[in-house]
Chain A
């Protein structure tokens, strides 16, 4: 047993981090936010200016870097990597708040022409919601009758599905097994949440080191220190769960990973906001973007109620 990242995995993570820092740093994030606001996606989901929020060139660059084809076999033009590598990649995407239906496109690689290379943006119908419906080239699942809503996260336009649509992926019986893609999507969501949680923890610590009040850095106040320590604990516990689930691909492991990563991301963003004081409540700060995106991710298939029930079932199924 050696649970640590291999050298290749470290290199992959580093490569993606550098790519994203170079191509989707703070300026690009803010530019995307500006486009989203001009488009009005944050308020009515319509396209008054017809502009696109997603940066298609970046999407193709991600494709060229193998982000979408990461798990596709080399024979099919993919990178031939496994779930652990995909989890590392999506963790990085979560760190920088990379927008777009990344998971749906990644899962469509090999099944939808152009997805692997980033030529095509693919979204899929989720648990009651569809992300990026207007900008996607391909929609997987039945989005008939979907209505736009004023998404709380400007960088994740949302449509709600009519109430009659079966919300349970795979449909039918409540305890039906999850289709494999839904499970993977839940794990990759957990990876994004993990990245966001790690980032908000770092951001809070950074701010706490530099912001001074009462003649000392606020990070010297124990109340602030303990908030930050709590953030790190949640991140590291979630990290162990997410990485392990990427190795085992076990549905119960994935449910556990998702539950803990959702919590680490949402609570992490809130605590980060608290550490930033009034600054944390501004549009100018990125903290709210992490919080809002984390909220949206918690509503993707595999959300907490479902996960907790599955984990409870597992206890009496005797597999512990």
Chain B
């Protein structure tokens, strides 16, 4: 059990800090949350700066154009960029954290050369077209169909909850190519250009009033067979492989941010007098324990990932269950501190309270995570 960073890791941290201190003051102002073209430009601009400084694709393998950093370096990177107030990964999320890694591990040399560099350089945005109206938690029930027609697949169906669809250049799309096969078998992974004819994107408003995601309707969209990653009908496996890229680092920056917010909430309570309420103080104290523990659990998971060579430990589901709950509790506590002011949607904590509601739903609901923990970690029999 060693929590001390090595001299090399500290050196990496020091150089990163110096670089951040130099570039962050020169960043353009953050665009308004509703101005999607401006948000795209801002997020890509930041990615370009990372690229120029050698920090792009830090956790990607070197042969995919990445830096081959260790999970611990990635942890340090995420911790330091958050502490310095650097921009989030934003619209680059799917490209850097899902579609890119999928292509890096399953794509052909040509596919890697075509798609990976623009992600690293901040030139192209990806979105993820997995969920459908009839296939959410039960993703493998997806029904969007693709037929072979010469050198193309012809795709019809609809996707939903597609984040960043409005500004994406590419969509990592799961389609059904063999409706006769068992449900996990007949699925194929395609890279679909978002400007192809037949695609209609209809933004959906979230409960916070913003348009973070969209419905995507596909009406006989032609996608070249060359855009298929992995074999036909092997898309389920192709998709699952990618999860190993995360290596315990999901949510690192967010936990750091939550700890900062918690301290701000406590200071606000001191200022407005609510601190005199012992029940509130104790609630904040308990949250402090939880977020401290989540930080340690992150270090634990990262150490495991580093030790086992990149395969994620079972910690991911455990972490997500605990973190998503703690995040919701944090902003509920913030609301208690704010009192009636918490009803003002002009306040960041109010917006964060609203958006925290998605954490127990997106990327596998809490119920699905508990199923995973029960069946895959604890080895309980599969439910009927």
Contacts and interface: CB of A to CB of B under 8 A. Distances in A.
A247 to B, nearest CB: 5
A229 B307 CA distance: 25
Contacts of B283: 308
Given A241-B289, A312-B282, A217 B381 contact: yes
Contacts of A320: 259-260, 262-263, 288
Contacts of B214: none
B304 A316 contact: no
Contacts of A256: 288-289, 292-293
Name A's interface SS. helix
Interface in A212-266: 216-217, 219-222, 224-226, 228-230, 232-233, 236-241, 243-244, 246-248, 252-253, 255-257, 259-260
Q: Name the residue in A201, A310, A312 with the highest tally of chain B Cβ atoms < 10 Å from its Cβ.
A: A312
A313 B288 CA distance: 10
A312 B297 contact: no
Contacts, number: 185
Contact of A3 (B1, B263, B370): B1
A161 interface: no
Contact of B380 (A225, A233, A240, A314): A225
Contacts of B9: 1
Name B's interface SS. helix
Contact of A259 (B3, B289, B296, B306): B289
Nearest to B372: A229
Interface stretch (B148-156, B179-187, B190-198, B315-323): B315-323
A5 B286 CA distance: 27
B70 to A, nearest CB: 10
B383 A4 contact: no
B322 A3 contact: no
Nearest to A235: B318
B321 A233 contact: yes
Contacts of A260: 289-290, 293
B200 interface: no
Interface of B: 1-6, 9, 72, 259-260, 262-263, 265-267, 270, 275, 278, 281-286, 288-290, 292-294, 296-297, 299-300, 302-304, 306-307, 315, 318, 321-322, 367, 369-371, 373-375, 377-384
Interface of A: 1-6, 9, 84, 201, 205, 208-209, 216-217, 219-222, 224-226, 228-230, 232-233, 236-241, 243-244, 246-248, 252-253, 255-257, 259-260, 305, 307-316, 318, 320
Given A315-B285, A318-B263, 4 more contacts: A201-B378, A224-B380, A244-B299, A320-B259
